[in-house]
């Protein structure tokens, strides 16, 4: 058994050395209600940066503990079961999967997966057909106020990431007439427009975002799917229309700083928000779990029909999960960052 532990948690930029790989043993016997699983895939996500602080800023997120096994979204296969509803060979997932190659878990905390729903691409259940896809879909439906035929323009920041790449496509599927993405490389911008159906994409590292937005969104911005916060969001908000809507999904530019979530806006931007009656409410997908089942089925249908294009950046081996996390936080991924632990 190999597992991954946290060795340092503080404000600042996370590095691969904050994580440590150890070899250890697990119990020989599986107790009643438990299953032994082999880990197949693990997810690394921006929200995990908050778990490296003693105070995560969220009452639903438990901080990772120093020198304890880290956890997050994971998928595995059952090798031995003493749980009534799970059998050997079942594929299962959990939002609190330990970062280890093999584990004994409480079967009641696991969700059984149906590979056929995602054309056999199991890792999609950590992304497009999992909590990431749910965040994009429910964020747009609950906070975006998108209406077919309303001629709305949506802007997505962090648009080539796990959630942003889905959000732009879902915005179009839900009825937006124009979708513009903001990303950090020419390659990402090209993928957004050529593969994912975005009307346009802005490379914020090379282009004048404010100028580009004026040209690409001549009628202003009606819906802003915000994954990054900071200067980019301030620029977008300044071009938003009266009675428009911000879907406050993430603020990755702020996660390495000791600030409250969501971070307060600068005074001049807050003034614009209030004067134009722009909604900016905290969005937490876990508050909408009553809609999870129907929403996942919708996402899977779009995937099967080819209407939702999925990108993954896959790193092989548990030993590389710390480096994968660091890379993802620095924008090294296109689409969902996945760690393939075993085949």
Q: What is the DSSP string of 142-162?
A: III---TTS--EEEEESTTBH
* pLDDT tier for residue 4 given thresholds of 50, 70 and 90: low
Residue 203 lies in a domain: yes
For residue range 308-340, list pLDDT tens digits in order.
Answer: 999 999 999 999 998 898 888 888 899 999 999
What confidence score (pLDDT) does residue 176 get? 97
Same domain for 123 and 138? no
For residue range 126-153, list pLDDT tens digits in order.
Answer: 999 999 999 999 999 999 999 999 999 9
Same domain for 197 and 280? yes
Cβ 297 vs Cβ 321: under 8 Å: no
Same domain for 119 and 238? no
Which of 24-33, 40-49, 105-114 is least confident?
40-49
Same domain for 55 and 158? no
CA-based end-to-end distance of the chain: 15
For residue range 185-204, list pLDDT tens digits in order.
Answer: 999 999 999 999 999 999 99
Residue-by-residue DSSP string for 219-250: T-EEEEEESS-HHHHHHHHTTEEEEEEEEE--
Across the range 25-45, mean pLDDT stands at 94
Residue 300 lies in a domain: no
**CA-to-CA dists, residue 82 to 18, 85, 112, 277, 288, angstroms:** 36, 9, 15, 55, 31
β-pairing verdict for 178-183 and 200-203 = parallel
Residue 296 lies in a domain: no
Residue 154 lies in a domain: yes
* pLDDT tier for residue 166 given thresholds of 50, 70 and 90: very high
Query: Does pTM top 0.85 for this prediction?
Result: yes
CATH of residue 253: 3.40.50.720
Cβ 197 vs Cβ 311: under 8 Å: no
Q: Please determine, for residue 259, whether its predicted confidence score (pLDDT) is greater than 60.
A: no
Same domain for 203 and 333? no
What confidence score (pLDDT) does residue 256 get? 43
Q: Please determine, for residue 343, whether its predicted confidence score (pLDDT) is greater than 70.
A: yes
Domain that holds residue 258: 133-286
Total tally of structural domains belonging to the chain: 2
């Amino acid at each position: 058994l190999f597992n991954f532990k946290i060795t340092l948690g503080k404000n600042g930029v996370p590095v691969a050395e904050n994580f440590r790989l150890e070899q250890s043993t697990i119990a020989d016997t599986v107790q009643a209600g438990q299953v032994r699983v082999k880990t197949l895939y693990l997810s690394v996500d921006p929200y995990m940066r908050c778990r490296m602080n003693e105070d995560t800023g969220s009452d639903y997120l438990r901080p990772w503990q120093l020198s304890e096994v880290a956890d997050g979204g994971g998928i595995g296969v059952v090798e031995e079961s003493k749980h009534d509803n799970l059998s050997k060979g079942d594929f299962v997932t959990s939002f609190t999967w330990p970062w280890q190659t093999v584990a004994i878990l409480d079967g009641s905390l696991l969700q059984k997966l149906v590979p056929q729903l995602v054309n056999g691409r199991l890792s999609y259940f950590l992304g497009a057909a999992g909590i990431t896809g749910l965040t994009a879909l429910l964020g747009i439906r609950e906070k975006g106020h998108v209406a077919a035929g309303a001629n709305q323009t949506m802007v997505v920041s962090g648009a080539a990431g796990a959630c942003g790449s889905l959000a732009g496509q879902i915005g179009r599927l839900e009825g937006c007439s124009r979708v513009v993405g903001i990303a950090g490389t020419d390659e990402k911008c090209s993928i957004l427009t050529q593969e994912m159906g975005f009307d346009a994409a802005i490379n914020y590292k090379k282009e004048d975002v404010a100028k580009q937005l004026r040209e690409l969104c001549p009628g202003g911005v009606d819906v802003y799917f915000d994954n990054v916060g900071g200067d980019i969001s301030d620029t977008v908000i300044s071009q938003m229309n009266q009675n428009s809507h911000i879907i406050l999904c993430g603020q990755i530019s702020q996660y390495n700083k000791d600030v409250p979530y969501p971070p307060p806006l600068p005074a001049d931007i807050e003034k614009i928000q209030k004067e134009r009656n722009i909604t900016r409410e905290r969005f937490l997908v876990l508050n909408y779990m009553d809609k999870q089942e129907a929403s996942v089925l919708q996402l899977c249908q779009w995937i099967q029909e080819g209407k939702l294009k999925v990108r993954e950046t896959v790193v092989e081996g548990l030993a590389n999960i710390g480096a994968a996390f660091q890379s993802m936080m620095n924008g090294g991924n296109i689409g969902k960052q996945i760690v393939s632990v075993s085949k």
